Amino acid sequence: MNNTRDMTCEGIVLRVIKYKNHHAMFRFITPDNGVIQCSVTGLNNSKKNFSGVISNLNYLNLELTKPANSEIYNVKNAHLISALADVNNYACFKYQSAGGELFTKIENYLEEDYADLFRLLLNYLGYLPKIKTNQIAIFWRFLIHYYYILGIPINLQACSECNKKLTESIYYSLNNHALICSNCAPKHQVKSITPNSQTLLIQLPTIGRIIDDLSINEQEKKEINELLLAHLSHSLHKDITLKSLGI
Ligand SMILES: [Zn+2]
C-alpha cells in the first residue's frame, strides 16, 4: 500500500524555523495548494545543498512527499528559481518581510483564492526593490489588495455608512472598522486621523504614480499601519501583529 504522495510545486518560502542546525520547518505559499507546512532535514549535507536555498522569501521549485497521515510535507529536493529578498536594502527588506509574515497569519485560505494570493505576493516582492523611497506606501497598497482577495475589503473611496465619496475630514469608525465621513462621524465611536494620513489613505489605490513625491512622517506611518491592521484584526476576530514592523 502506498502511504505517501509525491508532488512537485513552485512557491515562496514564508518563514523558516531551524532546529539543531540540520533540520528546518517552513511555511511555503503555492498557487495550487495554498500555504503548506514543510519539513527539511540534511541542511548541512553538502550533496543536497539545501542550506542557502531554504531561506525566507526564496522562490523555489520543490519536490515533496507527504505521508498519508500527516499535514506536513517532506522536502526531497529544492531548486532556487530566484531569491526575492533584497537584503542589501533595509527598507525594502523590512516591507518584503512584513508581506511574507502577513501570509502566515491565517491558517487556512479558501482554495479559490490560492492562485490570486500567490500572484499578489510574488508581484509585490518583485516590485518593491524597484521602489527607491516610501516603500511603506506600497506595503499599504498590498494590504488593500490582500483584503480584497480575502473578501474583507476596506473602502477608501466612499463612506462605509452613507456611501458618499470621501474627500476630506474622514474618520475611522470603531463600529464599522472602516472609514466614514464627517457627517456620519457623530453617530459613531471614532478614531480621528491626521490630515496627511487622510490624504494618503484616499490616494492609496493609485499611490505608485506619486510615490517619489510623498512625504510620510513616523506618526503617519504608525497611524496608518495601526488603522489598516485594526481592520484585519476585526475581520479575523484576533489580534494581528507584524514583528517585521514592530507592530
Ligand atoms: Zn457618511
DSSP lists the bridge partners of residue 74 as 39, 65
- How far does residue 9's CA lie from ligand 1's centre (Å)? 47
How much of the chain exceeds pLDDT 70, in percent?
A: 99
Cα–Cα separations (whole angstroms), residue 12 to 29, 128, 209, 223, 242: 5, 16, 28, 30, 19
Grid cell in block for residue 214:
510623498
Cα–Cα separations (whole angstroms), residue 105 to 28, 122, 162, 236, 240: 13, 17, 32, 10, 7
- How far does residue 233's CA lie from ligand 1's centre (Å)? 23
Cα–Cα separations (whole angstroms), residue 234 to 154, 176, 177: 12, 9, 7
- How far does residue 164's CA lie from ligand 1's centre (Å)? 6
pLDDT at 247: 84
Q: What whole-number distance in Å separates Cα of residue 155 and Cα of residue 201?
A: 10
Q: State how beta strands 34-41 and 72-83 pair.
A: parallel
| Model confidence band, residue 2 (pLDDT cutoffs 50, 70, 90) | low
Count, residues in the chain: 247
Q: What whole-number distance in Å separates Cα of residue 38 and Cα of residue 141?
A: 30
- How far does residue 186's CA lie from ligand 1's centre (Å)? 10
Give the pLDDT confidence of 214-239 residue by residue, as tens digits. Answer: 999 999 999 999 999 999 999 999 99
- Among 136, 146, 173, CA closest to 158: 173
Averaged pLDDT for residues 156-185: 93
pLDDT at 52: 83
Grid cell in block for residue 45:
549535507
CATH architecture of the domain with range 4-83: Beta Barrel (2.40)
- How far does residue 165's CA lie from ligand 1's centre (Å)? 8
DSSP E strand boundaries for 56-107: 58-67, 72-83
Averaged pLDDT for residues 116-120: 98
Question: Position of cell 516603500?
Answer: 135
Give the pLDDT confidence of 136-166 residue by residue, as tens digits. Answer: 999 999 999 999 999 999 999 999 999 999 9
Cα–Cα separations (whole angstroms), residue 83 to 56, 65, 92, 104: 9, 24, 14, 19
- How far does residue 170's CA lie from ligand 1's centre (Å)? 9
| Model confidence band, residue 1 (pLDDT cutoffs 50, 70, 90) | very low
- How far does residue 182's CA lie from ligand 1's centre (Å)? 7
- How far does residue 190's CA lie from ligand 1's centre (Å)? 12
| Model confidence band, residue 3 (pLDDT cutoffs 50, 70, 90) | low
Question: Where do you find CATH 2.40.50.140 in the chain?
Answer: 4-83
Averaged pLDDT for residues 30-46: 90
pLDDT at 56: 95
- How far does residue 86's CA lie from ligand 1's centre (Å)? 42
- How far does residue 109's CA lie from ligand 1's centre (Å)? 32
- How far does residue 162's CA lie from ligand 1's centre (Å)? 4
Grid cell in block for residue 3:
502511504
